[in-house]
Amino acid sequence: MKKSVEFIIEKLVLLSGIASIVFVILIFVFLLKEGLSLFGETNLFSFLFGKNWYPISDPPQFGILPLILGSLLVTLGAIVIAVPLGIAAAVYVAEVAPVWLRDILKSGIELLAAIPSIVLGFIGIVTLAPFLKNVFHLPSGLTALAGSIMLAFMALPTIVSIIEDAIVSVPKNYREGSLALGATRWQTIYRVILPAASSGILAAIMLGIGRVIGETMAVLMITGNAAVLPTSILQPVRTLTATIAAEMGEAVSGSGHYYSLFAIGIILFIFSFIINLLADFFLHRKRA
């Protein structure tokens, strides 16, 4: 009796463990199942590099280059803002701030992580967009820049907490050795601690990019949604994720439009897969 219970439990937990693998495969299979049907209508090259996204014109054109560039532009902007701020904030929290302030700052960052993206999108519409409109004298504040700023904030909790972990796990004797040699705390931070934590910093940047490129609702709401080739960061753009969210509701099931949105999903899935493997690689290198 006891033996059979043990046996059943053992198989049950094994199956639950394997379920994660099954889910990843299922996600990929279902994206492929719907997405690959597109390539009867158009070829991979004109899908990836086509300059026109007119999914419901006659004949439709499924070029996602404007969407890819839109995603890249917004992501690049967000990373340029978030990485220096994230590194600085993590260093401050881990190395400089007094204990009482450290706890307040960490709670604040946790709070930011807890705010749903739809709420940040709404706040972006009512505060950030009008602000940018006035500052840059634009016809509308809903631009790639607004998206970048908002996404930078959404990526910051991830970036800060991973870099902070990396800094805290730098062995204590590195720090003590440096200080004993007469280095100041600041010299120790940027000559010893940051280089020692560099793998963690790279992992944080990778995961930040993953978070930003996959973010959907906030970008859908504040980037202005124009599926055209972007020429400036002060112009409305449309990202890959926002396109799926905005158009799937109206896409007729089984149409080229429907398949093309799944094909965009394949691109996003592959991209996030690579980013996460890279981040995992950097995190494990740190431990080794």
Query: What is the token pair recorded at 107?
Result: 């709670």
Q: What is residue 233's three-state secondary structure? A: coil
CB nearer to other proteins: give 61 or 276.
276
CB nearer to other proteins: give 232 or 273.
273
CB nearer to other proteins: give 108 or 195.
108
List all residues 6 or more positions away from 262 whose beta carbon is below 8 Å from its beta carbon.
Answer: 31, 34, 35, 38
Query: What minimum distance in Å lies between the beta carbon of 272 and other proteins?
Result: 5
Query: What minimum distance in Å lies between the beta carbon of 98 and other proteins?
Result: 11
Give the angle subtended at the CA of 141 by the CAs of 135 and 144, to the nearest 5°: 110
CB nearer to other proteins: give 135 or 277.
277
How far apart (Å, rounded) are the C-alpha atoms in residues 109 and 219?
21
Q: Please report, as a single letter, which amino acid is at residue 77.
A: G
CB nearer to other proteins: give 51 or 201.
201
H or E element: which one contains 242?
helix 240-247
H or E element: which one contains 257?
helix 256-287
Query: What minimum distance in Å lies between the beta carbon of 230 and other proteins?
Result: 20
CB nearer to other proteins: give 76 or 85.
85
Among 222, 231, 218, residue whose Cα is nearest residue 73: 231
C-beta of residue 99 within 8 angstroms of C-beta of residue 267: no
Query: What minimum distance in Å lies between the beta carbon of 167 and other proteins?
Result: 12
Query: What minimum distance in Å lies between the beta carbon of 97 and other proteins?
Result: 8
Query: What minimum distance in Å lies between the beta carbon of 54 and other proteins?
Result: 21
Query: What is the token pair recorded at 70?
Result: 């839109």
C-beta of residue 241 within 8 angstroms of C-beta of residue 71: yes
How far apart (Å, rounded) are the C-alpha atoms in residues 154 and 210?
11
Round the CA-based radius of gyration of the chain to a whole number and report it: 23
- Give the E-state strand segments of the chain in sequence order: 53-54, 61-62
CB nearer to other proteins: give 235 or 247.
247
Query: What minimum distance in Å lies between the beta carbon of 134 and other proteins?
Result: 18
